[in-house]
Every structure is written in C-alpha cells, then in structure tokens.
Structure 1
C-alpha cells in the first residue's frame, strides 16, 4: 500500500472519518412509473463485474499493521453496498441533507470494500438522489467525481445503466480537465523527501515574495477561529447551486476571475456567519485554494497545472468590491510566485502549505499551534454540459469532503452545465446552524452584483 493511502487509514478515527462523498440529484424521465427507482436498483445490483479498486479492503482491519497493505474481496455483497432509502415526509431537500449528514458522519466497514451507494427516493417533485462515499485511501475527491462522470451521458435517450465500479477497460476515458484533490498533497509532504533539495530555492523565492509583496499570504497569517478547533464525529451537510453567468458577470465587471468571485462569495458568507456568532476576528481569514496556473484559466486539452496556495479572504474589509479585489490581489501574488517555480517545486511548496494537516491527529497539536489557514475552498472541474443517467436528468452534483481537527469546515464546488454546485460539510458540534451559510452565500453574491452595477 502506498504511504499516502496508508496515511488516510491510520489517521482515521470515530471523530475523523476519512472518506469523500457526493450527492447527485436527478429528475426521472417523463413517463417513469412508480417502480422506476426500484427497477433501477435491481439493475445496479446485477452489475457484479467490479474493478480491482472497488474490491479492495485492508488486509487485516483489526491489526494496525494489517492496514498497511491491501487485500481483494473475492465476492461483494451488493445488497450491503447499494442501499435503497427514502426521505421522510414531506420529502424536502432539507430532509435529504439530514440523511446525507448522518451517512457522511459514519465510518466505512474495513472488513468490506470501502464504499457505499445510497439511492434515495421520495423527494418532492418526484426526484431521486444518489449519495456515494468512498474511502480517501482508494479515491480522492477529484477521481471520485470523474468516476461518477463516466457513468453519465449527454444523450437523454441513452438508458444504458452505467455504474462507477465497472472495470476500467470497459469504460470511456473521462472528459474535461482534472486536478489533484488538495488533501492528497498532505501525503506528498512525506513522499517527496528525495527531491526536498528543490524546496530550498523555492523557499527563498517565497520569502522574497512575502517581503516584497504585501498581498502575498503565508501559513503564518491565519487567525484562530471556531473553524480551527478539535472536532467531533457528527457532520452537517448543506448544498446549493448558483448560475455560472451570475458569478462571471461580477468578475467581468471588475476584471476578476470566476474563482476570485467564488472566494469573495464565500468570504462574505463566512464574515456574516461569524459576525452572527460574535466570532469574527479582526484579522482576515485565509483559505487554502487550489489554483490553475494555465493561461486564461482554461482546462481545455485536459490536465491542469495546479498548485495549492493560501489566499487572504479579506474578511476584515467592509466594502464587497474592495474585498473582492483584495482577494484577487492575494491569489495573483501566489500565482506570480508559482510561475517562477518548477513543477516539482510547486508540488513541494503546495505540500508544505498543507503539511500541518498531517499533524492534526496528534493530541494537543491543534490547540497549541496556529492554524496554517482557516478553511479549505476547492473548485473541482465537473460536467460541462447537461448530463443524464439512465434517462434521468442530473440536476445537481454536490461534493462532500473531509473535515479534520483544526479544519472544521470544508467548502467544495464543482461546475455542472451552466451552474456551480456547492457542497458544504462541517462539524455538527463545532459549527451551529451551518445551513445559514447557504443563505449568506446568496446574500454575498447579491451584494456583489449590486455593488458592481452601481
């Protein structure tokens, strides 16, 4: 087992489940009968040809040492792995999020291949949902999303039911650009020791950038907040979609990128949320942000040049446009540094930015040290067109990532046709009324729209 895989298994505890997940929301095709979902589940369970990745489990789950190498299950209990569920009445999205929160806070069984799929019906307007989770030692969030994309089609009349565990040789290659999940960089901090010499010139360049550009944000700049405390095991999940054109229009008005505006939306929301709780620090919050280093932010042609940087969220700035521009300048300062580095140096520096997370399970570490950043905000490439599964229209695809001691909140979004789908996961014990962040993000975007059009 590679060290990066073993790390996620060894770091897992009841308070720290180490799986990534996602919630997909579908509208059935016209004319779908009352047994549509039940028939679909039967067909899903009948697809028993499984890729080796989906058959893997730790060799000896009871022994710590036994979690350092993989074993293959000869048979898989599909009745266990594919669950049929329904939301309680009245079947609102709120009830769906409550179920998702509960599922995302429970550990996967290490005696079986470490994944689950929950097919959920009874949602208002006749819709159904699919929540999947898979252990981070098997897939990171980006590869899990791409696996999901491989099951979809642009043809609403294509009723071939594809599943994520189909062996790779029978599956189409994923379309669109991809990027490393930022949490995977934690392991890179320990697996790149042979090239650590490249970090010396990179560190000198970072120091020069920090001294010469006051917009450059380092792991030393984050204040302590309620997001940066030890966490419990229960989770709360909320999600929402926003039209990409609304976000782009704000950016176009002031010369900012879509990602800059997304960070400003989150910044305004976090500022409101912490103010309501009386917890907003005087110093600006910072965020770990994966950034594209490709000119024009394009992912055409596949494969992004991506670095994990730390950016100011400018939560100490009152004016929404000034806040957006401060975020833009902070991200640009990090991009300018990355352009001076080799790919190996970028990877090393990104891993160092994330490396403190690897020490968060150490008792007392989070309480005694400053956070390297306050929150992770990730934008993962998703479907670029309207997609379908078994004739059902994909209405939303909402990521559910990992929270850790010292990082009680994680915001991940993905593109989906003409919208951005946000998935927010947080520690239920640490962060009260987390669902208010959804309303605050909308208020923050509306505030930006009004400000740039004034």
Structure 2
C-alpha cells in the first residue's frame, strides 16, 4: 500500500484542527438544470453518485497517524469508502434564494470533517429558484487547498454539453498521486500557496541575507512615516471586531459582478482589477462596521496573496508571496479611498518585486512566520493582528462548463476562519463574472449577508465617482418605468389604492 507523508504545512492544518476552528475549505457550485431534465433528475443523480465505486486521488486518501520518530501523518489510499456518508442530499423550501442557500452552506461549513475517513463531503442541493440546483463540496486543507480543489472539480466537467452527459462523479476523475508534490503546476495567488512557498524557501542559502536585510530595513524605516502608502505589518493593523476569538458556527454569503463592469471601472480609475476588488471590499467593510459603531479610527488592512515576477527572473515564471495593503476604511470618499488603496498596493508590489527570487521566498517565510505560529499555538485573537482580513482574487475558467448536461453558472469559494481572522473574502472569475464568497464567524460577524449587499453599493459609489456618465445612464434607464407607473397611478387612483397593502402596524425588522 503506497503512502504519501504530509509536508510540515499540511501537518499543521491537521494538528491545529479544533471544534471552533475546523480547517476545511469548500466550494459552492451552482448549475442550471438541463431543459429536458425529468422531474426526478436530482434523485437519479443522487442514486448514480452513491453507486459509483471508482475513486481517484486525492478523493480516496485518508490519514494514518505515525507512531515513530517522525510524527507527521501519511496519506494512504482507501477504496472502501462509505458514499452514504460522503454524499448527501438537501433541499431548500422552494423557491430558494441566495440568502436561504447561504444559510444552508453556512451550517454545512460549520461542521468538522471526520478525519478518520477521506476528508471530504459533497451535498447536492435542490429547490433553488430559476430552475437551478447546487453542489457544495468541502475538503480538508491538508488534502487540498480550496482553489486547487475548485480547479480539480472544474476539470471533472466538460466544455461540451453532450460530452458531459456521461461524465462520472468528480471523485472518479482526480489527479495523479504526485500532482500536488510536484512543482510543475503553476501556483495560484492564495494564502495557502504563499505559505507553501514560504515553507519551501526555508532551504534557501545565506546569500540572500543582504537583500532580506534591505527589505526589512525599508519596512522599519516606514514606521511612523505613512507618506509612501506602504503598510507595516502589525503596526498599521488596528484591533477590530474582525480579529478576536471565533466560535464554531459559520456564516456564508455570495455576490457576483460582471468582469466587464469591473474592468471598465478599473480603466476609468487608472488602476487594476485587483485594486477595484479591494476598494469595493474596503467600502463595504467601512459601512458594515460603521453601522455597528465598531469602525476603528485607523484603516483596516488586508493580507493579499499575489503572483509577482522577481527582480532576477528572466521569464521563467512568477513567484507566490503576499503583500499587505490598506483598505482605506478611514476615508469617507470612494474615489479617495480607491487612490489610497492603489498607492498602497503599488508600493507593496514594488517592494517585493525588487527582491531576487531566492530572497523573495525567504522574505515570504519571515513575513508569514507570525501567521504560521498563530496557527500552531492558537494565540490568534489575543494579540494585535498582522493584518485584519484576507482577500484573495483568483482567476478561473473563461469558457462555460457542463456536468450531466447541466450548465455551471457560478463558483463561490468558502474559506477558513481562524482565531484572529473572523472573516475571509475570496473571489474567483468564471465566464465573464466575478464571484465573491464571504465566510465569517457566526458570532463575531452577524448579518454577513449585509457585507455582500454593501459590496454592490460600494461598487456603485465608485462608478458614480469615476464613471458619472455611465451612472447617469443607469438612472435614466430606470426613469421611464417610474414615469409610466406614476402616470398609471394618476389615471386610476382608486384601482392603485385598492392594490396598496394596508400598514401592518410594525416595521419589518432587517435581516
């Protein structure tokens, strides 16, 4: 029986697992039912799923704990898998909307995985409005990180609807056992891949020490001098309600925008797509915390995994590291907030890009050391945060995908919440749309859905600032309908009054 020993970072995900901080990630995949789908389409799919007994790595791996000199557990392959446990069926009261779906996913994300089994679960969800269904798949971070897992799921689909009709379930079309260990695949800009790159950089040589000293010397010089917009870890990150201890229950919310809309705004504002993502998240967080009277005077900061090209790179590829940027939550104006974020991100990227590849890896490990120590010791939430929130922006497929004739409409990542990091925002692009997944602690971040709604409002504010003509056109498009309704009411006042509901006596309470 072949075994694969976990690397130190994946072992840390196992040993830091707790009831309050389960270390699994997930993906919410929304589909449109085929036009010719029978009424029992979901029941048939569920039956076929539970009868499919062919498994491929990593979905057939389970942990075996070592009792020798090396404490790191190993993966062993297990084909005796109980699909009645791993594959579940759920339904929303029809017509289920995004709020109801988010509530269900939040409950599913709250439950730890059974680490004595292959650490993954799949829930088929029916009852969604708009002739849709969903699939929520969660997997332990030690098995595969969330974005790589989402990509693995997407590779189990097809760009051709007819070819997708006979596709097996995702666990039958995994990756070769050595795929994750190999370094041939390009790493994505996620916090997990940044940490992985950091751990590997520990084997670096001492020749990079001068560059490291210069890099951290520049950071130390920045303390007390906010002139260039560069953020200093810990020093520039205020204590906030987002950075305390977390409890076991989770909340989940989603948001979606067209890529064209975001790119048009980025061009008009003179920034990048990532700048726009950070700016609308910063605007949403400012309003969210302001309503709760918990907005710090100092701006919140974001830890952002990025893919950059080192100074000594001749075109062989990018390196994964992470930067810390302001979110401008101390700034009232949307345009001014955007410019502050743009400057902060630019300075942070220039700082890490000035390092050669070897020094960049070691810079990353030193910068991430507090985060890794926080995971291992559980002291998160008791100390000042290195940054306030993680925001990741990951590219996805640009062509529509199908499974069993059903079109994949959107993918929403669900990430890890830990002590000291009560909210995570991860977004992934797919066929011209940007899909935001918000994961939060149920206790620390009540009404997380509002954060998703406020992200849309923050985008509208930025458009009003940088694209006033487009914003005016949007208002103009809604004006004819309003005038038509007003004219109709004037012509038939009695009929309109008869349709108007009576006051209920109490104002509806906001969700």
Instruction: State how far apart, in whole Å, the 2-side matches of 1:85 and 1:329 are.
Output: 46
- Paired residues for 1:345-384 under 5 Å: 345-361=359-375, 365-384=379-398
- Paired residues for 1:91-240 under 5 Å: 91-158=96-163, 159-165=165-171, 166-168=173-175, 178-186=187-195, 189-190=198-199, 192-195=201-204, 197=206, 198=208, 201-208=211-218, 211=221, 214-219=228-233, 220-240=235-255
Q: Which residue number corresponds to residue 324 of structure 1?
A: 338
Instruction: State how far apart, in whole Å, the 1-side matches of 2:61 and 2:298 are.
Output: 46
Runs of 4+ in 1 over 4 A off after TM superposition: 60-63, 187-191, 301-304, 361-364
User: After alignment, is 226-235 or 116-125 more displaced?
Assistant: 116-125
8 Å contact from structure 2 (residues 202, 365) kept in 1? no
Of 268, 277, 294, which aligns to 1:279?
294
Q: How many Å apart are 1:347 and its aligned residue?
A: 2.7
Q: Which residue number corresponds to residue 82 of structure 1?
A: 87
8 Å contact from structure 1 (residues 4, 184) kept in 2? no
Of 22, 25, 30, which aligns to 1:20?
25
Q: Which residue number corresponds to residue 298 of structure 1?
A: none
Instruction: State how far apart, in whole Å, the 2-side matches of 1:240 and 1:61 are.
Output: 43
Larger Rg: 2
Q: How many Å apart are 1:357 and its aligned residue?
A: 2.3
Instruction: State how far apart, in whole Å, the 1-side matches of 2:71 and 2:86 are.
Output: 23
Q: How many Å apart are 1:38 and its aligned residue?
A: 1.7
- Given the superposition, is the C-alpha separation of residues 80 and 435 from structure 1 closer, same or farther in structure 2, using an over 3 Å criterion? same
- Given the superposition, is the C-alpha separation of residues 199 and 390 from structure 1 closer, same or farther in structure 2, using an over 3 Å criterion? farther
Instruction: State how far apart, in whole Å, the 2-side matches of 1:67 and 1:201 are.
Output: 33
Instruction: State how far apart, in whole Å, the 1-side matches of 2:17 and 2:137 are.
Output: 19
1:352 alignment partner, SS class = helix
8 Å contact from structure 1 (residues 61, 110) kept in 2? no
8 Å contact from structure 1 (residues 239, 423) kept in 2? yes
Instruction: State how far apart, in whole Å, the 2-side matches of 1:304 and 1:223 are.
Output: 31
User: After alignment, is 258-267 or 342-351 more displaced?
Assistant: 342-351
8 Å contact from structure 2 (residues 91, 127) kept in 1? yes
Give me the TM-score of the superposition, normalised by structure 1. 0.91
Instruction: State how far apart, in whole Å, the 2-side matches of 1:362 and 1:152 are.
Output: 37
Q: Does 2:446 match 1:440?
A: no
Q: Does 2:425 match 1:411?
A: yes
Q: How many Å apart are 1:428 and its aligned residue?
A: 0.3
Q: How many Å apart are 1:55 and its aligned residue?
A: 1.7
| Two-structure CA RMSD over aligned residues (Å) | 2.7
Instruction: State how far apart, in whole Å, the 1-side matches of 2:460 and 2:189 are.
Output: 31
8 Å contact from structure 1 (residues 178, 303) kept in 2? no
Which structure exhibits the higher relative contact order, with contacts defined as CA atoms closer than 8 Å and separated by 6 or more residues?
1
Instruction: State how far apart, in whole Å, the 2-side matches of 1:282 and 1:37 are.
Output: 51
User: After alignment, is 122-131 or 199-208 more displaced?
Assistant: 199-208
8 Å contact from structure 2 (residues 66, 74) kept in 1? no
- Given the superposition, is the C-alpha separation of residues 360 and 404 from structure 1 closer, same or farther in structure 2, using an over 3 Å criterion? same
8 Å contact from structure 1 (residues 320, 448) kept in 2? yes
Q: How many Å apart are 1:177 and its aligned residue?
A: 6.6
Task: Write the deviation string for residues 122-159 of structure 1: whole angstroms up to 9, x where unpaired.
Answer: 11222110000010001012211110110222222321
Q: How many Å apart are 1:74 and its aligned residue?
A: 3.6
Unaligned runs of 5+ in 2: 1-5, 180-184, 469-511
Instruction: State how far apart, in whole Å, the 1-side matches of 2:453 and 2:445 are.
Output: 15
Q: What is the number of equivalent residue pairs in this alignment?
A: 445
Q: How many Å apart are 1:66 and its aligned residue?
A: 7.2
Instruction: State how far apart, in whole Å, the 2-side matches of 1:370 and 1:196 are.
Output: 32
User: After alignment, is 65-74 or 315-324 more displaced?
Assistant: 65-74
Give me the TM-score of the superposition, normalised by structure 2. 0.81
Instruction: State how far apart, in whole Å, the 1-side matches of 2:238 and 2:124 are.
Output: 41
Q: Which residue number corresponds to residue 258 of structure 2?
A: 243
Q: Does 2:275 match 1:269?
A: no
Q: Which residue number corresponds to residue 464 of structure 2?
A: 450
Q: How many Å apart are 1:332 and its aligned residue?
A: 0.7
